[in-house]
Amino acid sequence: MSNPTFTHLDAAGNPSMVNVSEKAVTQRSARARAIVSLPQAVLDLLERGDIHMPKGPVFQTAIIAGVMAAKKTGELIPLCHPLGMDHCSVSIHVNEQQDVVVECTASVNAKTGIEMEALTGATLAALTIYDMCKALSHDIVIREIRLMEKTGGKRDFKREE
């Protein structure tokens, strides 16, 4: 980064949507991750079979919420370009450290990236897990919401797992 600048500010320092009209359409994809730490008692219930709460099954509901959120990213984040995603998926599993790992992968053929959609999908899926499990405990922590990888555009990015 020889001369870093904030892309969402104009020359006068005012908020401005990035002009992508001159950019080429390319295949772009992104994968984001959120980690949810649950109390052991809640985790035990989940591992015995997805808890069916009054709002529905926890993980399945969170998957739907994540995809729905990713589709609305342009409405939720100011100055974010609205994109017609070609694909979006959310996966949820419990890792060896007994954390719930939420991953959202999104792809599009467009002039701008799709990492905000992947980040939004992972975040809202994690928030849905919190919402659905809070009746059992408020000792739930959502952490490490991060972009894991992106392809397409100026440069690719891949974080070490």
Query: 102 near 66, Cβ under 8 Å?
Result: yes
Angle formed at CA 65 by CA 161 and CA 54, multiple of 5 degrees: 120
Asked about 131 being catalytic, the answer comes back as: yes
Catalytic residue among 50, 131, 139, 156: 131
Query: 92 near 51, Cβ under 8 Å?
Result: no
Distances in Å between the Cα of 31 and the Cα atoms of 8, 26, 88, 90 are 23, 17, 10, 10
102 token code pair: 């939420």
Catalytic residues: 131
